[in-house]
Amino acid sequence: MKKNILTALVCAAAVILTSCQALSSAVNAGANIASAAGMITGPMGDAIVSSSTALAGATQEITPEQEYYIGRAVGASILTTYSPYETPDITGYLNRICAVLTLNSPRPDIYRGYHVLVLNTSEINAFATSGGHIFVTRGLLECADSEDSLAAVLAHEVAHIQLQHSLKSIKTSRITNALAVTSVSVVGAATNTMELTAALDETVSDIVTTMVNNGYSKQQEYDADTYAAGLLEMSGYNPAALMRMLELLEVRQGSKNTGFGKTHPAPKDRITKAKAYTSAYPPVTGGQSLRQSRFETVMKGI
> Distances from the Cα of 24 to the Cαs of 34, 74, 276, in angstroms?
15, 31, 46
What's the CA gap between 98 and 49, in Å, rounded?
46
- Residue 173: the pLDDT is 45
- Residue 165: the pLDDT is 86
- Residue 175: the pLDDT is 57
Closest to 231 in 3D by CA, of 281, 273, 279, 271: 281
With 0-12 / 13-18 / 19 or more C-beta atoms within 10 angstroms meaning exposed / middle / buried, residue 159 is: buried
> Distances from the Cα of 280 to the Cαs of 67, 143, 276, in angstroms?
33, 26, 7
Closest to 141 in 3D by CA, of 129, 153, 133: 153
- Residue 163: the pLDDT is 93
pLDDT tens over the chain, length 302 residues: 444 444 443 343 333 333 444 444 544 554 455 455 555 455 444 544 444 444 344 435 777 887 888 888 888 889 989 999 989 999 999 999 999 999 999 999 999 999 999 999 999 999 998 889 999 999 999 999 999 999 999 999 999 999 988 777 665 445 555 555 555 444 554 555 555 556 566 666 777 676 666 677 888 899 999 999 999 999 999 999 999 999 998 888 765 655 555 556 777 888 888 888 888 888 777 888 999 999 999 999 78
